[in-house]
Amino acid sequence: MKLYAVIMAGGVGSRFWPRSREKTPKQLLNIIGAETMIQATVRRLEGLVDKDRIVIVTSRLHKEEILKQLPDVPEANVVAEPFGRNTAACVGVASLILKKIDPDAVSVVLPADHIIKDEELFRKTLERAAAFASESKGLTTIGVTPTRPETGYGYIQIDDGEPSAGIHPVRTFAEKPNYATAVRFVESGDFYWNSGMFIWRADAILEEMATYMPELTEALRMLEPAVGTERFDEALEEAYGMVKNISIDYGVMEKSDRVFLTKGEFAWNDVGSWEEVYQLTEKDAEGNAAVGDVYLDRCADSYVFSPGRFTAVVGVDNVIVINAGDAALVCRRDQAQAVKKVVEHLKLNQKNEYL
Amino acid sequence: MKLYAVIMAGGVGSRFWPRSREKTPKQLLNIIGAETMIQATVRRLEGLVDKDRIVIVTSRLHKEEILKQLPDVPEANVVAEPFGRNTAACVGVASLILKKIDPDAVSVVLPADHIIKDEELFRKTLERAAAFASESKGLTTIGVTPTRPETGYGYIQIDDGEPSAGIHPVRTFAEKPNYATAVRFVESGDFYWNSGMFIWRADAILEEMATYMPELTEALRMLEPAVGTERFDEALEEAYGMVKNISIDYGVMEKSDRVFLTKGEFAWNDVGSWEEVYQLTEKDAEGNAAVGDVYLDRCADSYVFSPGRFTAVVGVDNVIVINAGDAALVCRRDQAQAVKKVVEHLKLNQKNEYL
C-alpha cells in the first residue's frame, strides 16, 4: 500500500489575531515552538508518507508561502482554492486528484494546525487505520481519548463490543456539549474527541459523497477532466462556484453507515485560542509565558508575545497581550474566544490593513 | 513694568513612556487636547508676556523641536542645557540672562508641563504677584487651593493674618504628606499645593541664591560674561559641570525669609502619571477614554491610546494601554507610578531604542 496524505490548510485563523493575519494564518505561524504548524504537520508524517505523496489544499493567498516553508513538497501537489468552501469540498477535490494518480490510493486527511505529542504513537494510529482502509471501504476517524470534559470539541460515540484490530464502529456524532454533558461523555468511556483527522480510500469517500452530497459530486465530475492540466485552477474556480460551504462531518460522516473510529491515545490539541497557547507554553514561577522583548512587573498567569517590539505589563494578571506589527491585543485569558469578534469588527469597518 | 517669563522645559517625562521618549518628553506632547503642553504654557501667557520676553530652558535634544512648536519665540530665547541640573540651575541661568537684558526684569517662572483651566483667573493671579514683585524683593510662589487630600504634591503653609493685596507670608514648606496628614492639611485651610510656579525680580532670586547657593552663584558669575555671545553654549556646559543637582525649592525657597504665596484658585494639575491623564480626559458611559484606532469589548474604566496603530482590549477593566511606535504599555491604573520603573529597566539594559 502506498499511503498518501491530504493536508487541509485553508484556515484563516482569526482567533490568533493580531499574529494571524489574512496573509499569515495560524498554520503558517510558529504558534508553539520553532516550526510553523504546517511544517510540524508534514514532519510528523516522515517515514510514513513520502513528500511527493502529500497533497496540500490551501488558499491562493498562501500557496507561495507554503511552498517556501515546505521546499520538499512538489508545487503540483499544492491545490490553491480560489476561496474557502469548508472541508467537504477540500476533501472532495483532493480525493479526486489522488484517485486519478492511484485508483487504490489510501490517504490520511489531516488539518494543518494541530499540536500532537507522542508522535510515534500518532504514526502507529495512522498505520492501524490505513491498514483497515486498504482492505475496506470504511471511513475511519481518529477519536482522541478525552483527558478532561472539554466543551470546545465535538465528540464521537463508539458502539459497544470488541473492536476489530483497533477499529470501532461509530454509533453517533455529538456537537460541542455543555459542561454537564461533557462530564457525562468523559465518564461514559465510549465518547472520544472528534479530531477532524480521517483515513480512507479516495474512492470510498468519493462514493459516499455521491450518495450524500450530489451537488458536490456533480461539481467534481465537471472538474475531473481538468485534473493535471493547465486548466485546473480555472476549472476549480468554476466548480467551487457550484458547491455549498459544508463540512465533511456534516456532509458525509454524520450520515454514512460505513464510519469507524480508531482511538488516538496521544496528546492532541487543536489550539483554538490564545488561552490554549498559554496552556501549552512553558511558564515561569509566576505563571507567565513571555515571547520577545517583554518587561513584566507584578504580573502573573499571563501570556505576552512581542518579538521585534517592546511590551511592558505592569500590575495586570490573567491577560493575553499580543503586540504584533501594526496592531496589539490585550485580552482577559478567559475571553480569548472573543478575539474573532475583533476580526469581525475590522472586516465590518473595512480596516483591511489590520486583517 | 515689562513682564518676562521663564519656562522650565527640561523634563524627561519618563512616567509617560512609551509616548514620552528621550526625544519627545511630556512637555512636547499633546497629552491632553490638541496643543502640546509647552504650546499651551506659552499661549496662556498671551496678553501678559510678549513672545520675545519668554525665555525657555530646555535640553539640547529638544531645542529644535521647541522652536518648531513655537515659531514666534526667538531662537536666542531658547537656552539649551547640555544636561539636566534641576530647577535651581535652570532658574539661575534664566535670571542671569533676564537681568542682563533688563536690570529691573520681573519674571514669572513656569513649568512647561502643567494643565491649567480658568485661564483668565490664572493670568490675574500672575498679575497680582507681578505687581508685588515689581515693588519688592519678595519671592512669591503660587499656592493652589487644594480640592482633595492629594498625597502626590508638596504643600506650603501660609502665616495667619490678613494678606496684603493677596500676598501671604509663607510659614513653611511641607514634603508630600501621607494621606492622614494630607487630610489635616486640607482641613486646616492654611496649606496650599506647591505648584512650582514663581514670580520675582530676577535680581531678587539671584541675591537669595548668592546667600544660600554659593556654588551655583560662583558658576553663574563665570558664565555671566558669555551671556549673549557665541561662547554661551560652551560656557554653560562648563558652568553646569560645577553645579549640583538641586531644586529651587530645596536650594532657596525653603530657606529664604522673603518667601510669599499668592493663592491660585484656578483648576491646576501637574499631570504626573497616566492615571491623571485618565482622570482629566472625557470618558464614555463605560468610563473609557480612547484615543486613536481602538476597539473595546466589555472593557471599563480604562484609558487606551493608539493613534496610527490598532489596539483591541477585550474583557479587561481599569487599565492604561499605550501603543506607541515600537513599544506598548499595559498597566493597571493604580500602578501608573510604576511606569518610570520600565524606563529604568530600559536604561539598565541599554535598550536605548525604546527610550
Cell 514561577 maps to which residue?
Answer: A285
Determine the Cα–Cα distance for residues B205 and A355; give it in Å rounded to an integer.
60
Write the CB contacts of A162 (distance below 8 Å, at least 6 apart in sequence).
none
CB of A309 within 8 Å of a chain B CB? The answer is yes
Q: What is the pLDDT of residue B1?
A: 80
Contact of A195 with A268, CB cutoff 8 Å: yes
CA distance A69 to chain B (A): 28
- pLDDT per position in chain A (355 positions), as tens? 889 999 999 988 788 999 999 999 999 999 988 999 999 999 999 999 999 999 999 999 999 999 999 999 999 999 999 999 999 999 999 999 999 999 999 999 999 999 999 999 999 999 999 999 999 999 999 999 999 999 989 999 999 888 899 999 999 999 999 999 999 999 999 999 999 999 999 999 999 999 999 999 999 999 999 999 999 999 999 999 999 999 999 999 999 999 999 999 999 998 989 999 999 999 999 999 999 999 999 999 999 999 999 999 999 999 999 999 999 999 999 999 999 999 999 999 999 999 9
> Which contiguous run of DSSP H or E holds residue A332?
strand A327-332
Angle between helices B214-223 and B232-242 (to 10 degrees): 160
- pLDDT per position in chain B (355 positions), as tens? 889 999 999 988 788 999 999 999 999 999 988 999 999 999 999 999 999 999 999 999 999 999 999 999 999 999 999 999 999 999 999 999 999 999 999 999 999 999 999 999 999 999 999 999 999 999 999 999 999 999 989 999 999 888 899 999 999 999 999 999 999 999 999 999 999 999 999 999 999 999 999 999 999 999 999 999 999 999 999 999 999 999 999 999 999 999 999 999 999 998 989 999 999 999 999 999 999 999 999 999 999 999 999 999 999 999 999 999 999 999 999 999 999 999 999 999 999 999 9
For residues B98-127, one letter each, b for 16 or more C-beta atoms within 10 angstroms of the residue's C-beta and e for the rest, the string is bbeeeeebbbbbbbbbbbbeeeeebbebbe
CB of B314 within 8 Å of a chain A CB? The answer is yes
**Which amino acid is located at A184 in the chain?**
R
Write the CB contacts of A120 (distance below 8 Å, at least 6 apart in sequence).
none
In chain A, which residues have their Cβ closer than 8 Å to the Cβ of B330? 311-314, 316, 319, 321, 330
Determine the Cα–Cα distance for residues B77 and A186; give it in Å rounded to an integer.
78
Q: Looking at chain B, which residues constitute the CATH 3.90.550.10 domain(s)?
A: 3-269
**Mutate which: A20, A275, A295, A343, vs B, most B CBs within 10 A:** A295
Cα torsion A237, A243, A244, A250 to 10°: value is -120
CA distance B304 to chain A (A): 10
CA atoms within 13 A on the CB side of A110: 29
Who among B17, B295, B323 is closest to A345 (CB)? B295
What are the C-alpha distances in Å from B170 to residues B135, B149, B235? 18, 20, 36
Contact of B11 with B113, CB cutoff 8 Å: yes
In chain B, which residues have their Cβ closer than 8 Å to the Cβ of A314? 329-332, 335, 338-339, 341-342
CB of A337 within 8 Å of a chain B CB? The answer is no
Would you call A311 and B293 a contact, using CB atoms and an 8 Å cutoff?
no
Q: What does the DSSP 8-state code read for residue B21?
A: B
Who among A321, A332, A354 is closest to B310 (CB)? A354
In chain B, which residues have their Cβ closer than 8 Å to the Cβ of A339? 312, 314
The CATH class for the domain spanning B3-269 reads alpha beta
CA atoms within 13 A on the CB side of B309: 22
Contact of B307 with B153, CB cutoff 8 Å: no
In chain B, which residues have their Cβ closer than 8 Å to the Cβ of A293? 351, 354
Who among B310, B315, B321 is closest to A335 (CB)? B315
Query: What is the value of pTM for the model shown?
Result: 0.89
User: Which residues make beta-bridge pairs with A11?
Assistant: none
Radius of gyration (C-alpha) of chain A in whole angstroms: 21
In chain B, which residues have their Cβ closer than 8 Å to the Cβ of A318? none
Three cell numbers written together for A196: 477532524
CA atoms within 13 A on the CB side of B103: 0
Cα angle for residues A355, A151, A184 (degrees, 5° grid)? 170
Cα angle for residues A228, A229, A230 (degrees, 5° grid)? 135
Three cell numbers written together for A152: 470546545
CB of A339 within 8 Å of a chain B CB? The answer is yes
Burial class (CB in 10 A: 0-12, 13-18, 19+), B284: exposed
Rounded to 5 degrees, φ, ψ at B29 are -110, 155
Residue by residue, DSSP assigns B190-249 as SEEEEEEEEEEEHHHHHHHHHHH-HHHHHHHHHHGGGTTSTTHHHHHHHHHHHS----HI
Rounded to 5 degrees, φ, ψ at B103 are -60, -20
CA distance B290 to chain A (A): 14
In chain B, which residues have their Cβ closer than 8 Å to the Cβ of A345? 295, 312
Q: What is the pLDDT of residue B189?
A: 94
Would you call B330 and A329 a contact, using CB atoms and an 8 Å cutoff?
no
**Mutate which: A309, A314, A329, vs B, most B CBs within 10 A:** A314
